[in-house]
Structure 1
Amino acid sequence: MSDMADYILETHDLTKEFKGFVAVNRVNLKVRRGSIHALIGPNGAGKTTCFNLLTKFLTPTTGRIVYDGIDITRETSAHIARRGVIRSFQISAVFPHLTVLENVRVALQRQLGTSFHFWRPERSLDALNDRAMELLAAVDLDKYAGLTAVELSYGRKRALEIATTLAMEPKLMLLDEPTQGMGLEDVDRIKQLIKRVAADRTVLMVEHNMSVVASPADTITVLARGATLAEGPYAEVSKNPAVIEAYMGSANVELKGAH
């Protein structure tokens, strides 16, 4: 397998400036196909801006983004979604007054391209139920299928969001701080869930807390002040003095309980 085929996503000197402020500075990222890759850093490190560049919510000032061997630097977010790059958001994005099953059916319907066929009878969606229940089972929500989404705990809403993201059949699944605002029990559940759904796809996740990515991530890229500070497996990155300094000691506390 060629080097290019090994990586599903690459950036080349990716840079974003805002009125003279360099938010992302010549970042070279390589996301290996079939892996879980974490992009982390303290607040203000540039990771969210970098993520927005990768998902085409922002356009880079300079540099290139290559996905699956194709330069997507100037493509829109809708174009790259059709290529299989699907993003879930930092804030839960589910339909609160639809049932859990209906939320997943809507996502499956979008995949079928019938989203705007409002004249179709609702029973025409019943064919999607089996696949929707498979996806709910994958995220341990099958027993909540009949509940409205608003009744779910915060952690389970995030699991539902992952199910709807999976319904779009991503080749590259981008998760934006998937555990933000969760208690420890929910964090553990989502970490296990990410490992499970990554079995046959690539996951790139943004996180600020290194302890969250310690077990699921194969590779961790640490950003600080918009540039790559360190990259490698958790065992290596977590001992890097520059990384510990960037976290101003807070990483040290988090890392002790991360195993």
Structure 2
Amino acid sequence: MSGDNIIETKGLTKEFKGFIAVSDVDLKVKRHTIHALIGPNGAGKTTCFNLLTKFLTPSAGQILFNGKDITQAKPAAIARQGMVRSFQISAVFGHLTVLENVRVALQRVEGTSFHFWRSDECLNSLNAKAEELIEAVGVAEYRDTPAGELSYGRKRALEIATTLALDPEMLLLDEPMAGMGTEDIKRTAELIKRVSANRTILMVEHNLSVVADLSDTITVLKLGRVLAEGSYAEISKNPEVVEAYMGSGHA
């Protein structure tokens, strides 16, 4: 295994009662890059993503993270190893403020999530780190705002902040721009770029303009198989990719 690759799959396959959703996928994600997984509807993106993040168990094949076989590992186990799916562990509590939400996430890291009797002094000791995280994702001005009052885009930014509290080496994002307007998309794309500075990011995303702007490498799936891989400039000129998208009418 090359040390350049943080995650690799070999012959990754998932079958559901005779239907093969993912078939013999070989994937390599390089460290400190943004790698996008795209494809038309029914391509197997979500299934592949759920296999990588251990929400599904492969029917065949192998998954390695940092050279270690995680094929049979549980989501919590790989999170402890440094690979975290955004929204997998993070949770936004609408009645808590932005700062309190991130502080809860930091308590998880310390293993004190359920120590509700801790003193205010102990909890406040987490404020500096929490404020650093909310500053990093651009929601510092909403520090004392209940999360339930945030716009959709800022709520997603807060969710990323709670994920970053786990200090992941690799962050997996499942359609981070879904349901967002133009301004929120721009803000979230800038956030993803910032947090990728010292992390690896793998994302499933339908918005091809976002994929083009952010991704170092793109893997295109069709009918559960890898159709093409490369930079956006390369895959956008691939006749098979163009045909796949024109045929589906949806990215």
Task: Please report the TM-score for the alignment, with normalisation by the length of structure 1.
Answer: 0.93
Q: 2:217 aligns with which of 216, 219, 227?
A: 219
- The equivalent position to 1:81 in structure 2, one of 79, 82, 100, is 79
1:125 alignment partner in structure 2? 123
- 1:92-241 to 2 correspondence within 5 Å? 93-241=91-239
List structure 1 segments (4+ residues) > 2 angstroms apart after TM superposition.
249-252
**Partner Cα separation in structure 2 for residue 183 and residue 47 of structure 1:** 23
SS of equivalent residue, structure 2 residue 179: coil
The offset of 1:208, in angstroms, is: 2.0
Measure how far apart 1:93 and its partner are: 4.2
Could you tell me whether the CA contact under 8 Å between 1:210 and 1:251 is conserved in 2?
no
Q: Deviations over 1:81-101 (max 9, x none)?
A: 1001111149x9411111001
Paired with 1:184 and 1:168, the residues of 2 have a C-alpha distance of: 29
Shift of 1:239: 1.5
Query: Per-residue deviation at 1:133?
Result: 0.7
Which residue number in structure 2 is paired with residue 257 of structure 1? Answer: none
Q: CA deviation at 1:251?
A: 7.2
Question: What value does the CA root-mean-square deviation take over the aligned residues?
Answer: 1.7
Alpha-carbon separation, structure 2, partners of 1:123 and 1:244? 58
Contact kept, 8 Å, 1:244 with 1:251, in 2: the verdict is no
Classify the secondary structure of the residue corresponding to 1:8.
strand
Q: Percent identity?
A: 67
Give aligned pairs, total. 250
| SS at structure 2 position matched to 1:131 | helix
TM-score for both structures, normalised by structure 2:
0.95
Which consecutive residues of structure 1, in runs of 5 or more, have no partner in the other structure?
255-259
The answer for unaligned runs of 5 or more in structure 2 is: none
- Superposition deviation, residue 209 in structure 1: 2.5
Residues in 2 aligned to 1:199 and 1:173: alpha-carbon distance in whole angstroms: 12
Q: Deviations over 1:195-228 (max 9, x none)?
A: 1000001001111232221111100001111111
Q: Distance in 2 between matches of 1:56 and 1:30?
A: 17
